[in-house]
A and B are shown apart, each in its own frame.
Chain A
Amino acid sequence: MARMNFRFLVAAFLLALSWAAWGQEQAFTNRSTELKERGAAEAGTLATLPENTEVKVIQRGGGWTQVEAGGKKGWVRVFHLRFPATAETSSSSGGGLSSLTSAFGFGRKTSQQTTIATTGIRGLSPEDLKNASPDTAALAKAQSFRADKPAAERFARDGKLAAVTIEYKEYKEGARR
C-alpha cells in the first residue's frame, strides 16, 4: 500500500514537473541585449545575449522580465523579447474560469490546459454577432453590477492604488526626447 502511494506520488511529481516545463513561456531576444542581475539598467551584467537567443520566461516585473538563458537566470528588458505564436486559439475547448485554480499554475499557463479540456463553452462566431437580437433583461442585469465613483475609490484604496498625474502630452513628448 505504502509502495503504491509512493509510486503515485512519484508519478504525480513527474507530471507536475513536465506540466510546469510545458506551461513555461518560450521567448526569443529580438535584438542583442544584456542579461542583468536585477531588473534595473544599473544592475550588473551577467551575459550579453545575441539576437534570437531562446529564453524561458520565469516572471515579469514591470519593464523587465526574468528569464533563463543557457543555464543562467537573469533579467532582460520587456521590449527585447519576441514571443512566437505557438498556442492554439481553439474556440470549441475550454474549461471555464475555474480551471485557473489548478495546482499546476495560473493565468496564461492555462492556455495549454484549455487544449486538453473536453467540455467547455462554445466560442463566439461571426454569425452569432451578426444575428444578435437584443436581450434587455441581460442588459439590466449587467447594469446592476455597475460600480459608482465611491465604490471604485474604496476599491482602489484597498489595492493601495495611488493616482498619479501624467498628461498625454508629457507622455508623447517624452518619447521624442
Chain B
Amino acid sequence: MKRIAMIAALLAVCIPAAAQFGGIDLGKAFDIGKKAMKAQEATKELSQEDEIELGNALTASFLGAAPLHADANLQRYVNRVGRWVALHSDRPDLPWIFSVIDTETINAFAMPGGSVIVSSGLLKRLASESELAGVLAHEIAHVVKRHQVTAMQSSMKADFFKSIGTEVASDRIGGRGGVAGQMVKPFALDMAGNLIKDGFFLRPLDRSMEYEADQMAIVIATRSGYNPFGLVAALQMLAQYKGDADAASVFSTHPPAGERIGELEKFMPTVERYATQPELEGRFKQVVGAAK
C-alpha cells in the first residue's frame, strides 16, 4: 500500500529536479525522493496531480486500443452531460474528460483523476439522457472515491515499483523525451504501461465499491436535476443481455445487473419524490441517433 505513494513521491520530486538542473545527479535526486517519500507515506495516497497524470496516461493507452468515436458532436454532448453531473460530485473541479470509444463492446470505464470512457456499444443501447447521466455518475463516483487507486495499491507487487523507478531514471539520464513525454509525464506512462500489462482494465473492483458507486450515482444524478431512475433503467437494459466470454465487457467486471438493481431498491424511496425530474429522451436521441 505504501509503496505506490513512495514511488509517486520519489518520481514527483526527481523528475522536476532532474529537469530543472538538466542534471544527472541521481544520488541527489534519490535523496530528495527519500525525504518526500516520508511525507507522502503519511497521506498514503497519490497526490491529486499524480492521479491526473496517471489518468491521462491510462486514457492515452486505452485510446491506443479502442479508437475515439469520430463524431465530434457526440463527444461534446457526452462531455457536457458528464461535466454537469460531475459538478454535483465531491470533486467538481477535476479536469473531467469523457470519451466515447467506437466499439460494440458494452462498457464504461473510469480512470483516476477524472477521465471517463464510455463505449458506443453502451450508448446506443441507452434510451435517454437521464440513463446516460446515471451511467456517467456511477463512473464519476468511482473517481470521487478513488476506487481505482485503492484497487491498484492492493494489486501491485513490490518489485513492480522498483522497475518504474529505474526506468524513469534511465529515461532521464538518456535525455529521451519524445512527443509522448511532452503530453503525458514519463512516470505516468511507465506506471500505466505496467498496470495495463497487469490487466488493470480487465480486473473487477470489489463488489462493495460497485454498490457504493451505484448508490452515489443516484444521488449525484438527482442533484444534477435528472430523473433518479435513469441508472435503474440502464441496469434493466443490461440485465437483458447474456454475459458472454468477452472479458472486456461490463458483464465480466461488474456484479450482475439484477443484483445491482436489488441493492438500489433499498435506497430508492428517498428519491422517489424526484421522479418527475426530466429524462431528456429527445435531446439524447437527437445527438446519439445522428452519430454515424
Contacts and interface: CB of A to CB of B under 8 A. Distances in A.
Interface of A: 25, 60, 62-63, 78-79, 81-94, 96-101, 106-108, 110-111, 114, 120-126, 128-136, 138-143, 145-149, 151-153, 155-156, 159-168, 170-175, 177
A147 B268 contact: no
Interface residues of B, number: 111
Interface string B115-131: 00001110111111100
B248 interface: yes
A87 B240 contact: yes
Interface stretch (B17-25, B59-67, B167-175): B59-67
9 contacts: A85-B242, A86-B242, A91-B104, A106-B285, A106-B289, A114-B104, A135-B61, A152-B83, A164-B225
Contact of A110 (B60, B84, B125): B125
A143 B97 contact: yes
B270 to A, nearest CB: 3
Contacts of A81: 236
A89 B242 contact: yes
Nearest to B104: A94
Interface in B69-84: 69, 71-72, 74-76, 79-84
Interface of B: 56-57, 59-69, 71-72, 74-76, 79-84, 87-88, 95-99, 101-107, 119-121, 123-129, 179-180, 183-184, 189, 192-193, 196-197, 199, 201-202, 215-216, 218-219, 222-229, 232-233, 236-237, 239-244, 246-249, 251, 258, 261, 265-272, 274-280, 283, 285, 288-292
Nearest to B292: A98
Given A107-B285, A124-B119, A98 B291 contact: yes
Given A101-B290, A164-B222, A136 B184 contact: yes
Contacts of A88: 241-242, 244
B57 A124 contact: no
Contacts of B267: 171-172, 174-175
B105 A123 contact: yes
Pick the most buried of A63, A131, A134, A164: most chain B CB atoms within 10 A of its CB.
A134
Nearest to A146: B97
Contacts of A125: 246-248
A153 B268 CA distance: 27
B292 A136 contact: no
Nearest to A139: B60
A107 B127 contact: yes
B190 to A, nearest CB: 11
Contact of B104 (A120, A170, A173): A120
A96 B292 contact: yes
B183 A62 contact: no
B240 A85 contact: yes
A142 B241 CA distance: 29
A101 B218 contact: no
B292 A151 contact: no
A77 to B, nearest CB: 9
A141 B102 CA distance: 14
A123 B246 contact: yes
A84 B241 CA distance: 8
B61 A132 contact: yes
